[in-house]
Every structure is written in structure tokens, then in C-alpha cells.
């Protein structure tokens, strides 16, 4: 009798593995995953057998990325989602599509970001840096939060470039230079990450912000600063670690500085609970 039960369990398990449904497999959405560190992380996670949801703005580039990743031996499942994260309607549609296709998400990596843009102002009147780097990941996270359990992870890709946030600039009421807007948008990302982590505590997913490494060889760095940059696999590796490794299971509300290879301290404003709350309230007003 016991032998029969064991045989039945073995057959079921083998069947699940044959269909690519390993019980350890995670479902992971990565925004901005058609190039740069998002693509590197996608390659690493797919190669480990995880179910990766790719996101990009350009449909043909997204399809090309899917074909490239599909050639990886032993890969996990791959899905694609098209959305322009500077447009609220696209963000809402992206979130809805993911919710239609999935009852659960294990990891969200808010990786998409922008430094330069032909038009620095969105149709909603926001600075493009704030719109894509701060508002879009906030809204997407807010919409997808019901799909996460306590063991889930939300990883927000920030930068070593951080500057005190002017709320009027965040709301589109003040113009800033390119680099200032970028630095403020990346600190704003850390600030709402910290507020969300504090609000959720043990009931929600781990929320981590990260500087993936300064001046990595991404398209943004090459075009924005005219240099080749460092190996982008540095960034892909830390995103993969943050998504999977047990050492980060209790790292909610923390900031990982990959330049120093450890949990670090972000700009002091990100450690001020009242400032983080005020900024999050501003974001809530923008997306309401």
C-alpha cells in the first residue's frame, strides 16, 4: 500500500517537472527587461527555470528578447507585456493583464528607468524622469500588491544618484534639469519603498530598494554620459540575488548598495518617516 502511494506521488512529481512546473519555480515580473540590467536579470532567472514576465515598450524588441531567452537550455516559462510606463493608461492595462493571467506573483522588479527623453514632459504634465522612475513603479506596485503574499518580494531599482525631492517638481509644477530630476526621482523611489515596507510590516511582501551599481554599461549610461560603463552583469546578478536568496528574506525597508556590496544607508530623507509619508501622499494624489 505504502509502495503504491509513493509511486503515485513520484509519478505526479515527475509530471509536474516535465511540464516545467517545479514547486520551487517563481513567477517574476521585470519591467524594462529588453536591455540593460533588466535583460541580464531576465536571462539569469530564466536560466534557473523561473517563470519570467518580460516587459518592454517596443513590441518588436520585446519579441526579439523573448526569442533570445527561449533559446536558453532548461529555461523557465516566458511571457511578454507591452506598455509605455510614461502613460498611466498603459500602466493600468499592464497591471490588469498580469492580474488576468496570474493569481499570484512572487517577485516584481521595478527596473525600468529613464534619464534622457526627446520630450521631457509627459501628456499628464509630469517630468519624464519622475513619471517613469517614481510614479509608474508606485502605481504598478499598488495595483499588483493583492497578488503578493508575505513571502513575495518587490525590488525597486534606484541609483547612487539621490537628491532631496521637491514635491512640486514631483507633481509637475516645477521644472528641473535632467540630472537633478533623475536624482530626485530615484530618491523618491526609495522613500515610497520605505513607507510601503513600514505600512505592510509582516503582512506583506519584502520591499527592497537597490543601487545596482554605478555607471554600469547600460544604454542609459552610454547615451547619457558617453562612456562604455562597467559590466552590466554586476547589476543583473544583484537583482537575481535579491529576487531569490534567503539572506534578503527579512530585508524589507532596506536599501542595498551594490557599489559597497552590502545593505547601506540611502540619502537621509529616506530615513525620515514623516518625509516618506508626505511624499507617498503626494503620489497617492497623483494616481488617484
What is the CATH number for 140? 3.40.50.720
264 in a structural domain: yes
Q: Kindly give the confidence (pLDDT) of every residue in the chain, 288 residues in length, as a single tens digit, with 9 standing for 90 and above.
A: 434 433 333 333 333 333 444 558 999 999 999 999 999 999 999 999 999 999 999 999 999 999 999 999 999 999 999 999 999 999 999 999 999 999 999 999 999 999 999 889 999 999 999 999 999 999 999 999 999 999 999 999 999 999 999 999 999 999 999 999 999 999 999 999 999 999 998 888 999 999 999 989 898 888 888 888 899 999 999 999 999 999 999 999 999 999 999 999 999 999 999 999 999 999 999 999
pLDDT given at position 223: 86
User: Domain limits at 66?
Assistant: 25-287
Q: Are 212 and 238 in contact (CB under 8 A)?
A: yes
Cell numbers for 63: 519579441
Residue 61 within a domain? yes
What pLDDT, on a 0 to 100 scale, did the predictor assign at position 219? 85
Nearest-angstrom CA–CA distance, 94 and 92: 5
Residues near 138 by Cβ (< 8 Å), separated by ≥ 6? Answer: 189, 192, 283, 287
Residue 268 lies in a domain: yes
253 lies in a domain?
yes
Q: Note whether 82 and 60 are within 8 A (CB).
A: no
Count Cβ atoms within 10 A of the Cβ of residue 10 and give its class: 0-12 exposed, 13-18 middle, 19 or more buried. exposed
| Count of positions (residues) in the chain | 288
pLDDT score at 7: 38
User: Is residue 56 in a domain?
Assistant: yes
The CB density around residue 142, as the number of other CB atoms within 10 Å, is: 16
- For residue 68, the model assigns a pLDDT of 97
Q: Dihedrals φ, ψ of 240, to 5°?
A: -65, -45
Q: State how far the alpha carbon of 69 is from the alpha carbons of 219, 280, 288, in Å.
A: 19, 36, 37
Examine residue 5 and state whether it is found in any structural domain, yes or no.
no
Could you give the residue ranges of the DSSP H alpha helices within the chain? 2-18, 36-47, 59-70, 88-101, 128-130, 136-144, 167-170, 178-200, 219-225, 233-244, 273-287
Active site residues: 182, 186
70-100: string of b/e by CB count within 10 Å (b at 16+)? eebeebbbbbbbbbbbbbbebbeebbeebee
Beta-strand runs (E) in the chain: 27-30, 51-56, 78-82, 107-110, 153-157, 206-211, 254-257, 262-264
Three-state DSSP class for 155? strand
Q: Taking Cα atoms as reference points, which of 80, 166, 91, 96 lies closest to residue 127?
A: 166
Domain count along the chain: 1
In a domain, 4, yes or no: no
Residue 128 belongs to a domain? yes
Amino acid at each position: 500500500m505504502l509502495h503504491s502511494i509513493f509511486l503515485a506521488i513520484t509519478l505526479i512529481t515527475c509530471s509536474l517537472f516535465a511540464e516545467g512546473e517545479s514547486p520551487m519555480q517563481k513567477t517574476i515580473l521585470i519591467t524594462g527587461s529588453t536591455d540593460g540590467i533588466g535583460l541580464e536579470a531576465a536571462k539569469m532567472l530564466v536560466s534557473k527555470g523561473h517563470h519570467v514576465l518580460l516587459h518592454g515598450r517596443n513590441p518588436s524588441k520585446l519579441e526579439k528578447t523573448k526569442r533570445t531567452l527561449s533559446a536558453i537550455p532548461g529555461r523557465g516559462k516566458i511571457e511578454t507585456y507591452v506598455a509605455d510606463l510614461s502613460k498611466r493608461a498603459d500602466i493600468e492595462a499592464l497591471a490588469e493583464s498580469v492580474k488576468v493571467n496570474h493569481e499570484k506573483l512572487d517577485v516584481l522588479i521595478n527596473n525600468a528607468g529613464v534619464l534622457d527623453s526627446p520630450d521631457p514632459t509627459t501628456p499628464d504634465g509630469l517630468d519624464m524622469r519622475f513619471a517613469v522612475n517614481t510614479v509608474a513603479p508606485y502605481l504598478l506596485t499598488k495595483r499588483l500588491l493583492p497578488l503578493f503574499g508575505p513571502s513575495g518580494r518587490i525590488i525597486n531599482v534606484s541609483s547612487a544618484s539621490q537628491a532631496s525631492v521637491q514635491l512640486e517638481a514631483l507633481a509637475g509644477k516645477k521644472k528641473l534639469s535632467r540630472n537633478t530630476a533623475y536624482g530626485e526621482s530615484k530618491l523618491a523611489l526609495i522613500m515610497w519603498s520605505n513607507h510601503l515596507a513600514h505600512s505592510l510590516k509582516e503582512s506583506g511582501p519584502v520591499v527592497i530598494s537597490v543601487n545596482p551599481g554605478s555607471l554600469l554599461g547600460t544604454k542609459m549610461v552610454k547615451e547619457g554620459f558617453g562612456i562604455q560603463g562597467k559590466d552590466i552583469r554586476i547589476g543583473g546578478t544583484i537583482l537575481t540575488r535579491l529576487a531569490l536568496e534567503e539572506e534578503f528574506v527579512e530585508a524589507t525597508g532596506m536599501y542595498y548598495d551594490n557599489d559597497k556590496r552590502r545593505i547601506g544607508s540611502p540619502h537621509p530623507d529616506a530615513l525620515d518617516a514623516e518625509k516618506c509619508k508626505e511624499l507617498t501622499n503626494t503620489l497617492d494624489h497623483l494616481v488617484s
